[in-house]
Amino acid sequence: MEREEHYRHERLDRGIKVRTEGIYAVSSWVEMSYLLVPRLFLILGLLALPLLMPTAYWQRVISIVCIYALLAVGFDLLAHFVGLVSLGGGFFVGVGGYLAAIMNVYLGVPLALTVPIATLAGGIICTLLLLPCLPLRGVYFAIATLMYPLIFTRLIEALDIFGGTDGIVGVSSWPNPWIERYLIIVIVILALFAIRRLVNEDFGLLMRGVKDNDQAVKASGISITSVKAVAVFITSLMGCFGGAYLVHIYMWSGLSQFALDFSIIPIAATVIGGGGTLVGPVLGTFILVPLSEILREFGTLRIVFYCVILVIFIVFKSEGIMVYAERKYHQFQQWVKV
Amino acid sequence: MEILVYGVVNSLTLALMALGFTLVYGISRLPNFAHGALYIIAGFAVWVGLNTLGLNYVISALLALVIMGLIGAAMYQSVLIRVRGMATSEIIASYAIGLAILEFLRWLGFKGMTYTLPTFKEGFVLILGVPVDMQRIFIIIIGALVFILLWAFTHYTKIGLALRGMAQDERAAMMLGIDSDRMAIVAMALGSILAGLAAFVLLPLGNIAVEAGYNVLILAIAVCIVGGLGSWVGALLASFLIGFLQILTWVYIASHFQIVVALLAIVVTLIFKPSGIFGRQKEFEERV
């Protein structure tokens, strides 16, 4: 009887990788460009996007995509580095948006101040409000965060404060369309690289420790809650900035800023793009959000559409696009006989 | 008196809504965020049976319950079985399925006040001097019946005992030859049927609308969290607690604060005692 021949994939790292992820030994321009090209492609690509878009409508879409990208990076940071699954992305956007609108319309603060103040104050408020929930784990934290935006929506509705269901109108718009288009892109790039740096520092190690074995971190005399609080603060900073920015684009702040869209799209983008890579979620939003703009005429059917994509990815390709692409980029792969 | 009577009715309504959710979580530790969607699908199925197919009320209800069971089993078998045990994926997957179903129904036009189910029987009776309409009497009767039947099912049938075994300790149950995946399918089907039953009894009082689906999910979660996730007795007691609280806010404050009460109950319980008022103490599972 003839024996069947078995093959397996052999995977080899490229020679420039040293010891661990993120440390490289480069000795030539080819090797340096090997590392630089993807990063430059990302930065220059993002910066060139508004110039490449044909109409003002699509330039606006790019800005919206960037808001979702900030939320998605935040979700990724919380879910895959600290282990907190937050279903309430809309909460951050809503708090930031309403703060900016209240300051701008009721108190007459100019735009140059509302955005930074709303970002910072919103970050602090969100963190303080979520602080009691931080010791919770897994499904308990997810449920709590799912409820926060709902509570705020219903409270604003029931108490009829901040314009009630009509929202706050008359928020001032961005003075210059180019500032509007480029500010958010620069923020996305900065946030992306800053967080990437952060998770590779000691503090990143601590965050991963909290995710993988919080008891061990606690036993080392480190407060888990403060680590989680810092991560939540970073996430809510990004979310609140997105909210404040959005309010000034639409010149209106309403209950839809607490809506489900801001919670589900970042999650879907993270799953599709690849959790734990930080770049993946950005890629995911750049696939999902324009797609949903194209499908706008189908109304709520697009939510169905990306929920289905989400489920398919979670079941069949849970690693996501970016993890797959990184593996292909960093490793040689060949068939060898067993 | 009115507070007492309507409090009981409201509590049983909540208990019916939450029963399916707490059952599925209790048995397979699977937070079924698609619960509200299943509830609305059941209402939709009964409506189709009545109006499109022109069937008898009872037959279309039974048909809807069978379909619910199949949908639940299919959902578990095709998607949830693959992510079981991965908390993040479980939450996201079931949430996404629920959202997809609800938004699809919204696209079909199930919102506002267009679609309603007829009540079982017109008229009302006086209980303790308070007029209560027949539909609410049916809710009390069917609610009580469901609880008794479920209790009997889990205590005296083989499958019911296996389900309880799995709820208590999955590994030990597997060692005794209980197929955990098959039992989880049964649990999911049963949970969906209970969601369907709740819809069939409760929807004649309102509209078949997508918004109701989201509210049912919130209320079910509220009851389960306050009562302690996975604890059935806790869920029943918690539904009385929240039910009476809601009626009290309705009477003394304003009706649109009812859902705020449920939402606040969730967050307050999670902050102070995540295992729920009546839940078993399992501190390490839920918080650090």
**What per-residue confidence (pLDDT) applies to A2?**
58
Q: Say if residue B282's pLDDT is above 70.
A: no
> What φ, ψ does residue B52 adopt, rounded to 5°?
-80, -45
- Measured distance CA(A190)–CA(A243) in Å, rounded: 18
- pLDDT of B58 above 80: yes
Average pLDDT over all residues of chain B:
82
Say what the pTM is. 0.85
Q: Nearest CB to B267: which of A144, A268, A314?
A: A144
Q: At what angle do helices A111-130 and A224-250 cross, to 10 degrees?
A: 140
Among B106, B259, B288, select the one facing A218 at the smallest CB separation.
B288
Q: Which distant-in-sequence residues (6+ apart) come within 8 Å of A157 by Cβ?
A: A164, A165, A255, B256
Phi, psi angle pair for A169, to nearest 5°: -105, 165
Nearest C-alpha in A relative to B288 = A135
Q: Which residue of B has its CA nearest to A153?
A: B260
Cβ-Cβ contacts under 8 Å, B100 against chain A: 303-304, 307-308, 311
H or E element: which one contains A220? none
Average pLDDT of the segment spanning B222-250: 84
Residue A184 lies in a domain: yes
Where does the pLDDT of residue B248 fall: very low under 50, low under 70, confident under 90, or very high at 90 and above? confident
Alpha helices in chain A (DSSP H): 29-52, 56-76, 89-101, 111-130, 138-159, 177-200, 202-212, 214-219, 224-250, 261-273, 279-294, 301-316, 321-330
Label the pairing between strands A252-253 and A331-337: unpaired
Least confident stretch, A211-225, B99-113, B153-167 = B99-113
Its domain, for residue A133, covers 7-337
Query: CB-based burial of residue B178 (10 Å sphere; 0-12 exposed, 13-18 middle, 19+ buried)?
Result: middle
Chain A residues lying within 8 Å of B260, measured CB to CB: 151, 154-155, 158
Residue B279 confidence class, pLDDT cut points 50, 70, 90: low
Taking an 8 Å cut-off on Cβ atoms, the answer to whether B91 and A308 are in contact is no
Residue A2 lies in a domain: no
Q: For position B113, what pLDDT does the model report? A: 62
**Hey, is A168 helix, strand or coil?**
strand
- DSSP code of residue B120: S
Tokens of A271: 């799953």
Q: Cα–Cα distances in Å, from A29 out to A34, A37, B50, B154?
A: 8, 11, 73, 70
Number of domains in chain A: 1
Encoded tokens for A220: 């080392």
Amino acid at A49: L
Q: What residues make up the domain containing B183?
A: 2-286
A interface toward B at CB cutoff 8 Å? Answer: 79, 85, 87, 132-133, 135-140, 142-144, 147-148, 150-151, 154-155, 157-158, 214-215, 218, 224-225, 260, 264, 267-268, 271, 298-301, 303-304, 307-308, 310-311, 314-315, 318
The CATH number assigned to the domain holding B17 equals: 1.10.3470
**Range scoring the smallest mean pLDDT among B56-60, B143-147, B236-240, B276-280:** B276-280
Tell me what pLDDT residue B112 has. 62
Question: What's the CA gap between A338 and A207, in Å, rounded?
Answer: 40
Q: What residues contact residue A334 under an 8 Å CB cut-off, 6+ apart?
A: A9, A10
Q: Cα angle vertex A125, ends A123, A127, to 5°?
A: 65
Is B287 in Cβ contact with A268 (below 8 Å)?
Answer: no
Q: What is the pLDDT of residue A326?
A: 82
Total of domains in chain B: 1
pLDDT at residue A293 in the model: 82
Give exposure, A15-25, as e/b (b: 16+ Cβ within 10 Å).
ebeeeeeeeee
Q: How far apart are CA A99 and CA A106, in angstroms?
A: 10
For residue range B169-217, what is the model confidence (pLDDT) as tens digits?
888 888 888 888 888 888 889 889 999 888 888 888 877 778 788 888 8
**C-beta of residue B180 within 8 angstroms of C-beta of residue B173:** yes
Q: What is the predicted pLDDT for the residue at A18?
A: 66
Residue appearing with tokens 């006040």: B113
Q: Does residue A265 sit within a domain?
A: yes
**Structure tokens belonging to residue A201:** 């520092």
For A15-36, give the DSSP string: TTB-SSTT-B---SHHHHHHHH
Three-state DSSP state, B207: coil
Residue A1 covered by a domain: no
Domain with residue A248: its CATH number is 1.10.3470
Q: Which residues of chain A have pLDDT under 70?
A: 1-3, 18-22
ipTM topping 0.90: no
β-bridge mates for residue A12, sequence order:
A332
Predicted local distance difference test score (pLDDT) of residue A74: 93
**Any idea what DSSP says for residue A175?**
S
Q: Given this model, what pLDDT does residue B17 score?
A: 87
Three state DSSP letters for B143-162: HHHHHHHHHHHHHHCHHHHH
Q: CA-nearest residue of chain A to B219?
A: A147
Contacts of A314 in chain B (CB under 8 A): 83, 89, 92-93, 96
Residue B187 CB partners (closer than 8 Å, separation 6+): B23, B24, B27, B28, B163, B166
CA angle A312, A315, A316 (to 5 degrees): 80
CA A60 remoteness from chain centre: 19
